[in-house]
Every structure is written in C-alpha cells, then in structure tokens.
Structure 1
Amino acid sequence: MKRPVSVPENAIYNETDKEWLFGATNENNQRIGPWKVWHIEGYLWGTIEYGDGTPPYPTLRFHPDGTISQKGEWYGGDKYLGPLRLIRSVHPTPEYFPPNNADNVWIAEFDYTDEFTFIAQRYFDIDNTAVSSDGDPLPTRPEKVPARAHFVRLPYSATNWIMGTVDTRTGDYIDEYFEWDLDGNPVVKRLYSNTGKVLEDYRYDSGALTSSYLYDKDDPTDYENTYYYSGMPTPVPKTRMVYRHKKKDVTNIYFDKTGQQLYAVRREELSPVHKRRYYNGKLLCEAHLSADDDQFPESVVYYSPGGYKCIDLTNNNDGTGTWRLYNAEGHVLRQFTVHENEDDHYELIRWDAFLPSWGSYDAKTTSTDWETVVKFFNQEYDELNAKQQLYSLEIPSYLQKELDSIDWETIDAYHSGGGAELPIGINGMLSEDNTVANIAFKMLWAEITQQGSVFESTYKTAVILAHMVPHYSHLSTVQIRLGRFLYSILDQYEIRDHEHLYKELTEAITPLEPTLLQWGINEDIDIAHMAQYILIYTGTEATEQYLLQEWHNTDYSSTRRGYALFSLADFYAIRDQSHQILSIFPPTFMQETDPFVRFVMAAQLVLLTHTAAREEWLAELLHALANQEALDEDYINMTPFIGNIDNIHEYILVVLGKSRPDILEKMIAPIIDELPNMYALKQVSYLRTILDLLFNDETSLDDITPIRKKALLAAADATAKNPGLVNLIEIFRAYNLPHEAYALRQLAEA
C-alpha cells in the first residue's frame, strides 16, 4: 500500500481496517499512550489515548476536513460506555450521523451503559446550545423530569419529555420508559421486555392515571386492561378487562369509586359452537349452537343464582324452537314457540336472546344478569301475546269504511305487497293497550318509511289516522298517540315531495287545528311541541296568531318562546313567506332581553340574509357561542328544528358559515387581543369560541393565516399566564392543537 504523504514514515498500515496506525506498545506488545489513526486516503481519522493499556480509552474521530466527528470513551471492539458524542460537518463526509434529525441538529450525544444500549440522548445546534431532537430551543425542564430525559416536539400531537433505554441492535426501547408533559406531569410509563415487547403500559391525563395494560410475557394477546375513575386523589379502577386464550375468554370487572368490586361478567368460547356466559363467577348461560347461524341452537340453558335451570330452549327440529321459563321447583311458568323465518323476532333464534349486550355494562348497572334475563324473557312473551291480540282486534265501522276505500294489496309500500297488513297496524294504533299499539306502530313504520323515503302508503295511512282523531276525544291517550304519529310523518325528509298526496294529508289534518291549539298550551312540553310542529304544516291564520302570541308573551319560559320562534320561521318558510321574518324580527331584536330568544332571532335572520347579515346579528351569535352553556338546555328542547345538530356549538358554526368570513375575522380580532386579560372562566369560553371559528375545519392547521397565528399566540400567552388553563386539555384537543404555550408558539410560527 502506497503511503500518503501526510502519514508519518513509522506509521503501520492495517490491511484489515484499511487504516494507518502509529503509537507505542509495552513489553507485552500492548498499546499504551497516545495513538493516531489515518484514513486510507491520508487524513487524520482518529486519536486514541491508551494510557497504561487499561480501558476506558478516550477517543476522537475526525471528518476529512479535520473537524471532530465523534468523541467518547472506548473499551475495545464496538463497546463505548458513558457519553458518546457525534458531530456533523459542513463538508461531505463518510462519518456517521444519526438520520432523521432536523437540519439544525448538529450534535447528538448518547449515554451508553453497555455495548448495545444507551439510556439517554441529547441534541445540540452548531453553537453547542442544547435543542430538542427536532432542533427547537428547549423549554424549561420541570423539576420532576430527570436529566436523562430528552425533549421531543411532534407537530399537532404530543410534545413531551421522554426517557428510556434503547437497544441499538433493534432500535426498540427496553426496560423502563417514561414520558412527561411540559409541566412535568407523567403522560406514559411503560415496561418493555429485553426484546422490545410491551409488558406494562400506563397512560395519564394531566398527571392522573387513566388506563393501564398488563401483558403476558409469553403471549401478548393475553392481557389486562384497566380504566380508572377521573378526579380521584389516588388511582381507583373503574373497569378491568381480562383477556385470555387469544380473547376467547374475556372477563369484565366493574368497581365503585372506593375500589370495591361491583360485579363481573365473563364470556367464554370453548369452540365456535360451544359458548358460555358467567355472572360474578357463576355460570349464567351455556349454549351448544348449530353449524348454521340461521338455525336454532341445539340447546340453550340459563341458570338461576342457585344453579337451577331458569330458562331453556328446545330445538323442535322442524324450524321452530320453544323457550320456557321455570320456577325454582322446575315447573314451567311461561313458554312460547317461534319460527326461524319470523323476521320480527329473528333475535329469538340466538342463544343470547335474553342476555344484556356486552357493551351495555358499566359501573352504574344495578340489575343483575339473573334479573335481566327474566325481564327480557317476559318482555318477549308479553310482546308475542300482544301481537296475537293485535290480529284479533275488532275493527270499528268508521275505520272499516276508510280502509275499504283503498286497495291495500297493490298500494306502494317499502316491500312489494307490504301494504296487505297495514289495516291491522292502523287498527292497532287505536288500541287502549300500549303494548299492542307499540307493535302496531312498528308494523306500520317498517312499511311506510325507510331512511327518510316515503310512499303512497305513508300518506294514506296518515290521512286515515288523522280522520280517527275526533272519534277518540274520550281517550286522550289514543288521541295523543295519533298526534305523535302525525308529527313523525310530517318530520320525514321527503314528505313534501309528492305534492298531491301531501296536500291530501295536510287537508286531512287542518280540521284538527282547534284540538292541536289546545295541545299547544299543554303543561307537558313534549305534547305542546308536538302540536306546534304539526300546526306549522297544517295551520291557518289562527296558528300564526297563536305563535306570535307565544313569542311575545314574556311571562313564558325561554324554551316556550324560542320554540314559537322556530315554529314561526318554519310556518312562513313552508308558505314561501320568509320575508315576514325580515319584517317582524329586526324591529324588536335590540329590545329583546332574553338571551335564548335573542339567539334564535339572530340565527333565523342570518340564515335568511347570508352575506348581507347585519353585524349586530353576527355579534349576538358570537356572544352565544362563547356563552353556550347558558343556552344548552333551551337549545336541546328545539327538536326537531335542529335536526341532527344536537350541539349548539355546531349549530352556531353552521349558521355563521353562511355569512361573510371577513366580517367574522374582523369581529373576532378584538376578542383575540383581549383574551390574555380576561378572567379565567370568560377566558375559557372565548378561547373555545375563537378556536371554533378559526380551527373547526380539519385543514385549518395546514394554513396558518395571520388571524390564526394571532389566535395561537394569544392562546399561548393566556396559557402561560394562567397555568389553570393547561389542565383544560380538552379545549385544545378538540381541534388537534397542542395545549402547552411552548408548542402553541411553535405551531404559530410554522
């Protein structure tokens, strides 16, 4: 090998490592004192201080440009102990530096405890200033966070201090692992095996333990998962799930707030056709299933607390099965037989027909499973008997006359020919027995509506039942039931799509206006709201005057007046008279003192005027958004006007979304400026309002506009000034935002 000119004459070439070496040895040919290593290309590659030949050996490695690339204490082979520092170069270099670090991470330092594992990692910029692994300035280290921990910022997610032991052979953590938030509260604590598998996993929220996972070291599919009560001074388990035999044996245990066990339920699958359920350790139900899921099980037995047979199923092997309920002496108390092809009772083919659903249990469950299975059996028995009564009911002559005017065999319904049994359902709606009437309602509803779609049978059925209302003035229960049915029909999405049939329906209901107006002032708010809603579609001038009176009467509750306003707006909209709202609402808006009534008026006006909405209406909605807690109860009572938007926040945002964004940003800027100076509760309310408007879209974080940046910085200032806000993580989490001042500022500058 030709010696480069930069390599001394007495340096020796090492063919194995392709390097030149120079240094002294002792009488045992052991290296001692300082040694130098040159790269095959001729530049100084490293220095090693062997001392008296006893490790550790302080070492330096160099980049081709002569700057240091590595510094540490070497023990021979690949073994380094203590800090090992790796340094970048401004020039191209073959020297190793950990990948996936930010550009301004210039130095990486690792504390090794043996040849393959390190327990700490630190990062520095080119000026040797400590930074995070992402290259950001380090926040203040909380007292509770050990010096070993390093800081990690993950955009839009966790921003934590992390400490653990890493096995460099796999890149996995082993042994104990910890995470803390910016305030030093624990976030995660884990225990890993020496192969990197999680053995224990503990999760925290604001420093309080929320859940834990304990895994079997040999089979990770066997584990225990515990959730804990919130707001407790020490961790108290709420629910514990124990999984065994690859989740074929699962036990859920529920605890009260003192940590005492309330009860335990267990499901066990011995084979695909052999299943069991237990309650408090006792066998509750055992079933041997058929190979075909659509057939009755071979056998099912439910047991009482004392262990005797309580319920069983006999598979009659002819497509039917007989369920029986027994007393303690083994005598049959009740029984019924069902067919495999009965769509109305398909669940009775299942072995777990009377068991509570697995997801229905919680710490508030008071009924035992033994009580529940008997209750469910009796409910099914009563319903089957009520169905028999339904089919045997006599049809009144005044109803028969109505039924005879329609060809039920050919009428349009959800199922072809499905109208044949509608007369039975219509007649059942007139029953004094609520169980019979409920079955009748289900029978009707399955054929005359389907996911918002309506049919000819929808209208014809409703018309007949509207005609029945006057015949039952002596039975208010039946009358109100018929009213609720008409309410449900008019609330169908497509009900106005068939003009001729819709007109026939409303004309059938209009004569009921006097009765509906009486219901409208009923003390039962549900009855009153039901009546008002029907009147919106079918009422006359008398209804309009009634709704105006309801609105203007300041002695009435916020709910009653607000419902009247929603009703009035729809009353005019259905009749293409929405201009009336623009005439009668604005003159009284500024004088109205009830916050909920003002909110409803503002919402209706903005929905009508869109981008022409006045600033005072928008300001009212912003105020409502910030103080929504005071309006929640009234708002929830506005069904069905609010549709699926049962959250007042979402409703207001939908309304505001129809106005001008530039006006809203102009109006919200002063609120942002004032945010850090507000008192705590007001600060929380308005912070949520600001985030609702600026970060409610999932793409918001991809476009940090000036107003969004302003909001993030104000939120950071408020959070830093009032540490109490840090605990309200849910405010930020709802918008995928970090909750610490440091991380909020980082995001604002992104």
Structure 2
Amino acid sequence: MERPQHIPAGAIFYEEDGNWKLGDKNADGHKIGLWTTWHPEGYRWITVEYGNGTPPYHVQRFHPDGTLGEEADWYGGSKFLGVSRHIKSDNPTNEPFPAGGADKAPNVWMAEFDYIEEGIYESQRYFDRNNNPVSSDGDPVPERPANVPLRAHFVSNMHSATAWVMGQVDIRIGAYIGEYFEWDLNGKPVITRIYDTTGKALEEHQYNNGLLSRSKVYNNQGLVSTYYHRNVNPPLMQSQTIYKNNDKERTYRYYDDKGKLLYSIRDEKLSDTHRRRYYNDKLVCEGIRTGEVGDAVMESKYYLEDGTLVIDFTSLGEGTGVWNRYDTRGQLVQQIHVSNHDDDYRLKHLDTFMPSLGDYDNERTQTDWDAILEKFEERYQRQLVERKLKSLPVPPALRAELDKVDWKEIDTAFGGGANLPSVINGMLSEDEAVVELSQGKIWMEIEHQNSVYESTYKVTEILAKMAPLYTHSQVIQLRLIQHIYEVLGLYYITDDQELYNEMLNAIAAVIPQLMQLANGDDAGQARKATYILVFTGKEDVEQYLVREWHNTAKSSSGRGYALYSLCYYYLLKRQSDKLIATLSAAFDGETNIFLRFIMSAYLVALTKDKAQDNWLTELLLRLADHQSIYHDFGDMVPYTRDGDVQRYIWEILSKAKPEVLEQNIGPVIDKLPTVDILSRITYFRVIFDVLFPEPAALREITPARRKALLVAADEVIKDPGFLNRKEVFDEFGIPHDAYALKQLAG
C-alpha cells in the first residue's frame, strides 16, 4: 500500500482493518506510548495512550475536521470505565453521538457517561457549547434539590412530573438495571423501581406528592399490586391484588383507614370453563360453562358461610335451564327459568348472582353471602313482574296502532323490536313495577350512545296517541307525557326529519292537555309541558310564551323559562333573524339580570364575532358573579343541559371576539386555584380555548398567556398525576409538566 504524503514515515498499514497506524511496542510486542490511527478517508481518527502497556488506556476519537469527538479510559476488549465524553461537531462527521433525543437536540453539545462496569454506566450529563448543564433536550437545568444525588440527571418534557432521574443503564441491552429513581422539581419522589440484569422490572413504587401511593412487586408466582391510602405517612394499605399461577388466580384484599384487613375475594380459573370464587377464603360460588349457546353455564353452585348449598343451576341444554334456591334444610323454595331469549342472557353466567369486581371497595359492608341472596330475590321478583307484563290485556286502541308497525324488522339499538309491543303496553299499566320494567326495556332499544332509531320515533308516536285517551288516569297520562319530554330532550332527535315530523304530528294531539299543565300549579309539570309545546310550532304557543316572558307577576325563574322556550321555539322554526331582533330590542330596557343574561347569551351565540360589546360585557359580568343567576339557571334544564352555568357561558363566549375575551380573562385565571378540583378542569378548558386556540399561540406569549401557564405549572406541581386535567392539556397541545410550562412562560 503506497503511503499517503500526510502519513508519517513510521506508520504501518494494517491490512486487517485497512488503516494506517503509528506507535511503539515493547520487547514483549505489547503496544506502549501514544498510538495514532488514520481513517481510510485520510484524517487522524483515533489516538490511544498505552503508557507502559498497563490499562487503563486513554482513547480519543476525532471528527474529520480535527476536533475531538469522544474520549474515555479503555481497559481492553469492550471494557471502558470512568467518564466517557462525547462531543458534537459543526461539520459533517462519521462519529456518532449517543442516541436518545440528545443527538437531535440543537442545544446539546456534549454528553458524559460514568461507567462503573463493562457496558454499564450509572450517571449521565449533558452540556451546551459553553459547558453549561442542560437536559437531554437542551433545556437549562434548574437548581438541584438537596436530597437529589449528583448522579441524577435532569429530564424535561416527560409525561409525568418527573424532573430528575437516576439509575444504571446496561448499553448491551439498552435498558435500566438495578435500582432506579425519579424525583419531581421539588425533590419529592415520583417513582422508584428495581430491575433485574435483563432490564425486567421486579418492583415499582409510585408516589403522589412525595407519599407512596402504589406498589407493584413481581415474584416467581406472579404480581402483588398494592394501593395505599392517600396522604398517609407511614403508608397504610388501601387495597391489594395478588396475581398467581399465570394470572389464573387473583386475590383482592381491602383495608380500612387504619390498615386493617376488611375482607378478601379470591377468583380461581381452574380451566377455561371452570371457575371458583371465594369470600374470606370460603368457597361462595363454583361453576362450569358449556361453551354452548351464548357460552351458557352448565353447572353452578352457591354456598352460604357454613358451606350449605343455597343456589344451583339445572341445565336443560341449548342454553336453557333452571336456577334453584334452597332453604337451610335443603328444601326447594324458589326457581328462576332461563330461556334462550336475549333478555335472559345475564342469567346464563356461572356467577350470575355474584357481585361484580367493581362492586368491591373499602366502604362495602355487605358480605357475598348476603349479596347472592339479595340478587337472587331481585331476579326472582323480576321474573314475576315479567310474567305479569306478558299477561296484560292490550287495549283495542293500542292494538290498532301496534298492528301498523312491523316490529320484527324495525330498527332498534339491540335488535329487540319484537319485544317492544308488550313493554309499550306495560306503560299503560297501573302496576309501577311493570312500568319500571317496561321503561327500562324501551330505552334500551330506542337510544344508545347518542343514537336514535326508527323505534325511537314510532314508540313515542304511539304513546303520544295514547295520552289523550287517559284523561281518567292522571298518573298514566303524566307518565306518557314524561316519555315524550325525555325523547324531545335528546338533542339528536331531529336526525331523521321525516320520522321526526310524523312523531310531532302525533304529539299535537296532546296539546290541550299540555296547555292545561303549562298553566297549572305544578311548576315542574308546567315546564315539561311548555318544553313539549315549543316543538309543536303552533302560533298560539308563541303568543303564550311571549305573554309569560313579560308577566312580571311571575318569578325570575318562571319568566326565564318562558324566554328560553321562546328562543328555542324561534330556532326550531329557523327564525334566527326574528329572534335577534326581538332580543336586541328588549335588552337595553330589561332590568332583571337573569333575563338580561339569557338575552345576551342567545345574542352572542347567534351573532358570534359580530356580537356587541355590551352583550359580551353582560356575559363576563355574569361569569364573574355566576352565583347571582346560579339557582335560576339550574331550573332551565333541559335548555341548559347539566346546569353548569360557567361552562355554558364560556361555550358561548368562545364564539365571540378573541381579543375582547383575552382582555377579560385575568379574573378567571385568578379564580382557578380557589375552586374545587373538578371545576378547575372547566376553567382550564375555557382559559386555553381563549388564549391558545391555535398551536401558534404557544410561540407568542402575551402577559395573559404567561399568567395562565404559570398557574397551570402550579396546579401540575400540586397533583402531577391528575389524568382528567392532562386530557385537557393534551387537547390544546400544552405540556402537562411543570418545568416545561415554566419554560414556555419564559
């Protein structure tokens, strides 16, 4: 190989690695002193100081531009101990920088790792060009709390409140091993873990506000997961779950506020089809599934505390059978028959009468033995009611309406249309147990997860036609009107306009009864009747609502409900211009603050960014003093949904002028820390919606935005694990991390 001109005369070319090297050897042929290796591209690449041939050997690697890229102490083979330092270059280079985020962070210039064993380092540090400590993301490092060891390194923008991290990393597996720690900005522990040599977690302990909140300990049998009572030191167990035998056995233990065991549950899976449930280590339930129709139970037995058989199941095949209940002498006292009807699917489970796991907590006092008897009795009584329902005669008028519908083909939530005629008939019963059963089955089929079906309209249409026929029974008539009210309260009820209009035509037959109720002494019934009347769209209804709105003899709440109803009436008739004209003409002369609030709410909602300042000011005044309208507003359901006046106002204000809202958001930010923790979620959503409507807003921090971010940081520090709040932060692209929030705020 011809020697390049820049390579010293003494350098030797090594065929095995294709590099030129220069250095001395001792009499034994061992390398000594400084050895230099040139990269195939021609630049000085690596130097190793062998000294007298005894390790450690100081190694340096260089970038093509000649600057230092890495240095460490080498002990031969792949063993490096002590500080391993990596430095970036301004120019193109072949030298890698440790991956993990720092390699892509512009403000990170140097990284150091302290190796304690071959392939294992215990600490890591990052620096900018001026040798200032930074995080792996390049952010400045805050003051280290006194209790956080120097080994710990600072990490920003994590998904928790973690700020400081410490642990040993095995680079051969790319994972932590041994003890691992996390602390928040204030030095309070967040997480501690213990890993084995493969990087598998053996223990994990989570902390809330510095106090132990949950532990997970793995062993050769499975896992022990423990929750602790909040804000208690030393920690006291609240509940514990023990997983064994590849998760085929689970034990749940619950403790009182003194850490004393209250009771325990054990669930055993002997096979895919065979299960047992224990209460305080005594067998309560055992069963075997068949794998047949609906995966029905083949055999199941329930026992009392003394081991007496109290309930069992007799299978009759194909998913049918009989549940039998016995007295303490073993005599049969009750039976529940299980058919193949969909209504009976819950009766086919082996643990039909057992509490669900979600029923257990630290407040529960009922034993499983009492629970199974109670559940059996409830289901037995339900069977009697179902028989009574099926035996009810069908009035001729109802029969005529039912026969107009193909109930087997009608669209429903769960395909149970064939059962609807009997439960519609049940709504006309004098027996409240039959009515309650009927109502439950009707709603299961006509509404599900904000969806309505053909059955929703047809059932309501038929019940509306029945209502005028029951003037002799106010209880039944009011029940049918209540159903109409609840259906019209579904804000998606207008999805199918054709069926919706047919339903309204049927409801029109009840108008005389509705007008009578609307003018009656029962305020609750009057409001429900008024709400239904709004949907009919009749002109006399409009006149009635205007008259009630202006009736100063009525209460503020009564006038307000009439005004809300009138506004909704105009919206349903698509007369927004008429509504704006009506309200704007009346606004300035109105002195009642609740009525002014309603007017301003509708005017701002309808005019949006063209809303007048005096309307916006009125809403902001009511937001600051929402208690003045709190009770009246609560009476406006269903127009106001859940009655949350602050959220309602902010949803309207979000449609108005952004600059006006930002100018007036300060008092809301100030108020946030003083309200209850769930209300703060609403406050954050409102504040972020006003101040950070677009991601670009985070790049232009105004005084109001800075103030909001600092308050957000304080809230995260108080309770970093509050997931409901984090969901709101994530929605607006705002970090749920105190340090990152303060960085954004500058």
Give me the TM-score of the superposition, normalised by structure 1. 0.83
Counterpart in 2 of 1:390? 389
Equivalent residue for 1:744? Answer: 741
Checking the alignment, whether the CA contact within 8 Å between 1:105 and 1:124 is kept in structure 2 is yes
In the TM superposition, what whole-angstrom CA distance separates every residue of 1:513-555 from its partner, at most 9, and x where no partner exists?
3552366635xx5x56534433434688589657865897699
Counterpart residue identity of residue 512, structure 1: Q
Once the two structures are superposed, what CA deviation does each residue of 1:209-252 show, in whole Å capped at 9, x if it has no partner?
34332223x57xx3233334434444443333322233332233
**Once the 2 structures are TM-superposed, how far is the Cα of residue 118 of structure 1 from its aligned partner?**
0.3
**How far, CA to CA, are the matches of 1:275 and 1:740 in structure 2?**
45
Give the C-alpha shift of residue 274 in structure 1: 0.9
Aligned to 1:655: 652
Partners of 1:542 and 1:66 in 2: CA distance: 89
Amino acid in structure 1 at the alignment position of 2:365 = T
690, 696, 707: which one pairs with 1:703?
Answer: 696
Preserved contact between residue 458 and residue 503 of structure 2 (Cα < 8 Å): no
CA distance in 2, matches of 1:52, 1:634: 91
Correspondence for 2:329: 329
* Partner Cα distance (1:239, 1:210) in 2: 11
- Map 1:291-306 → 2, pairs under 5 A: 291-294=291-294, 296-306=296-306
Of the candidates 386, 391, 411, which is equivalent to residue 405 of structure 2? 411
1:74 partner amino acid: W
Distance 1:563 1:589, change over 3 A: farther
SS for the counterpart of 1:286 is: strand
C-alpha deviation, 1:426, in angstroms = 4.7
Among 564, 567, 570, the alignment partner of 2:565 is 567
State whether residues 354 and 368 of structure 2, in contact with CA within 8 Å, keep that contact through their aligned partners in structure 1. yes
What are the superposed Cα offsets for residues 488-524 of structure 1, whole Å, 9 maximum, x if unpaired? 34445048644773454233211213552366635xx
Paired residue type of 1:154: N
Mapped to 2, the partners of 1:627 and 1:10 lie a distance apart of 89
1:131 aligns with 2:134: yes
Aligned residues: 723
Task: Assess if the C-alpha contact under 8 Å between 2:401 and 2:462 holds in 1.
Answer: no
Alignment counterpart, residue 118 of structure 1, candidates 118, 121, 141: 121
Structure 2 unaligned regions, length at least 5: none
SS in 1 for 2:198: coil
1:690–1:168: structure 2 CA closer, same or farther, 3 Å change rule?
same
What is the CA–CA distance in structure 2 between the aligned matches of 1:374 and 1:550, rounded to whole Å? 55
**Pair 1:65–1:277, CA change in 2 (3 A):** same
- CA deviation string 1:144-174 (max 9, x = no partner): 3221122223377766222111101111111
Higher mean C-alpha displacement, 663-672 vs 137-146 = 663-672
Give the secondary-structure state (helix, strand or coil) at the position aligned to 1:735. helix
- Paired residue for 1:72? 72
Distance in 2 separating the partners of 1:370 and 1:683: 39
SS in 2 for 1:298: strand
Alignment CA distance shift 1:13-1:209 (3 Å): same
Deviation track 1:167-224 (CA, whole Å, cap 9, x = no partner) reads: 01111111112222223232222211110111112233443434332223x57xx323
Q: Contact between 2:355 and 2:372, CA under 8 Å: does it hold in 1?
A: yes
How far did residue 113 of structure 1 move?
0.2
Following TM superposition, by how much is the alpha carbon of 1:301 offset from its aligned partner in structure 2, in angstroms?
0.7
Distance 1:196 1:483 in 2: 65
**1:715 equivalenced with 2:708 (yes/no):** yes
Q: Is the 8 A contact 2:228 2:235 kept in 1?
A: yes
Q: Which one of the candidate residues 149, 171, 179 is aligned to 2:152?
A: 149
Residue 439 (structure 2) pairs with residue 436 (structure 1): no
Residue 116 of structure 1 aligns to which amino acid in structure 2?
G
> Residue in 2 aligned with 1:185?
188
**2:217 & 2:489 partners in 1: Cα distance?**
50
Is this contact kept in 2: 1:36–1:44, CA < 8 A? no
Q: Is the 8 A contact 1:459 1:501 kept in 2?
A: no
CA contact (8 A) 1:550 1:556 kept: no
| Structure 1 Cα separation of the partners of residues 112 and 271 of structure 2 | 54
Displacement of 1:580: 5.0
1:274 is aligned to 2:277: no
User: 1:293 Cα deviation (Å)?
Assistant: 4.0
Distance in 1 between the 2:162 and 2:463 partners? 59
Aligned to 1:470: 471
How far apart are the structure 2 equivalents of 1:724 and 1:704? Answer: 21
Residue aligned with 2:484, SS = helix
For residues 5-54 of structure 1, the C-alpha deviation after alignment (integer angstroms, 9 at most, x for no partner) is 656556666666645343574x777666x424242667555555555655
CA distance in structure 2 between the partners assigned to 1:250 and 1:685 by the alignment: 33
Write the distance in 2 (CA, Å) between the matches of 1:678 and 1:449. Answer: 39
How far apart in 1 are the matches of 2:445 and 2:468? 20
Distance 1:307 1:357 in 2: 21
CA–CA distance in structure 1, aligned partners of residues 418 and 130 of structure 2: 86
Amino acid at match of 2:378: Q
What SS class does the counterpart of residue 294 from structure 2 fall into?
Answer: coil
Name the counterpart of 1:356: 355
| Mapped contact 1:82–1:111 kept (Cα < 8 A) | yes
SS at 1:462's partner residue? helix
Which residue of 2 is the match for residue 664 of structure 1? 658
The answer to which of 645-654 and 76-85 deviates more is: 645-654
Checking the alignment, whether the CA contact within 8 Å between 2:514 and 2:529 is kept in structure 1 is no
What is the CA–CA distance in structure 2 between the aligned matches of 1:278 and 1:46, rounded to whole Å?
Answer: 68
| Inter-partner Cα distance in structure 1 for 2:242 and 2:603 | 55
8 A contact 1:356–1:372 mirrored in 2: yes
How far apart are 1:413 and its partner, in Å?
4.3
Equivalent position SS for 1:362:
coil
The Cα of 1:655 is off from its aligned counterpart by: 2.9
Whole-angstrom distance in 1 between the partners of 2:113 and 2:608: 60
Q: How does 1:207-226 map to 2 (within 5 A)?
A: 207-216=210-219, 218=220, 222-226=222-226
- Residue 602 (structure 1) aligns with: 600
**AA matched with 1:727:** K
One-letter amino acid of the counterpart of residue 194, structure 2: L
Residues 684-699 of structure 1 aligned to structure 2 (within 5 Å): 691-693=684-686, 695-696=688-689
- What per-residue deviation string (whole Å, max 9, x for no partner) do you get for residues 370-396 of structure 1? 22222221122112111222333456x
Instruction: Name the SS for the 1:128 alignment partner.
Output: coil
Inter-CA distance 613–9: structure 2 relative to 1 (3 Å threshold): closer
Contact 1:35/1:50, CA 8 A, preserved across alignment:
yes
1:86 aligned partner:
86
Cα 1:562–1:368 shift into 2, 3 Å: farther
Q: Specify the alignment match of 1:510 in structure 2.
A: 511
Inter-CA distance 248–547: structure 2 relative to 1 (3 Å threshold): farther
In structure 1, how many angstroms separate the alpha carbons of the residues matched to 2:314 and 2:132?
79
Deviations 1:403-454 (A, max 9, x none): 36x2633425473599887665454333332111223334555677784234
SS in 2 for 1:461: helix
Q: How does 1:526-541 map to 2 (within 5 A)?
A: 527=525, 529-537=527-535
Decide which of 717, 720, 741 is 1:726's aligned counterpart.
Answer: 717
Structure 1: runs of 5+ lacking an equivalent: none
2:11–2:20 Cα contact (<8 Å) kept: no
- Matched position secondary structure for 1:141: coil
Query: Which structure is higher in RCO with an 8 Å CA cutoff and minimum separation 6?
Result: 2
Do the aligned partners of 1:712 and 1:745 also contact (CA within 8 Å) in 2?
Answer: no
TM-score (norm 2): 0.83
Question: Are 2:244 and 1:244 aligned?
Answer: yes
**Cα distance in 1, alignment partners of residues 322 and 687 from structure 2:** 61
**Rounded Cα–Cα distance in structure 2 between residues aligned with 1:29 and 1:289:** 77
Alpha carbons 1:463, 1:504 under 8 Å: kept: no
State the shift of 1:695 in Å.
4.0
- In structure 1, C-alpha distance between the alignment counterparts of 2:125 and 2:28, rounded to whole Å: 40
Secondary structure at the residue paired with 2:387? helix
Alignment of 1:374-385 (within 5 A): 374-385=373-384
Distance 2:217 2:308 in 1: 37
Secondary structure class of the residue paired with 2:336 = strand
The percent of aligned pairs where both chains have the same amino acid is 36
CA RMSD of aligned residues (A): 4.2
Q: For 1:610 and 1:213, locate their aligned partners in 2 and report how far apart those are by CA, in whole Å.
A: 52
What CA distance in whole angstroms lies between the structure 2 residues aligned with 1:592 and 1:242? 65
SS in 2 for 1:348: helix
CA distance in 2, matches of 1:302, 1:196: 45
Whether the aligned pair in 2 keeps the contact of 1:130 and 1:137 (CA below 8 Å) is yes
Q: CA deviation at 1:327?
A: 1.8
Contact 1:313 1:321 in 2 (8 A): yes
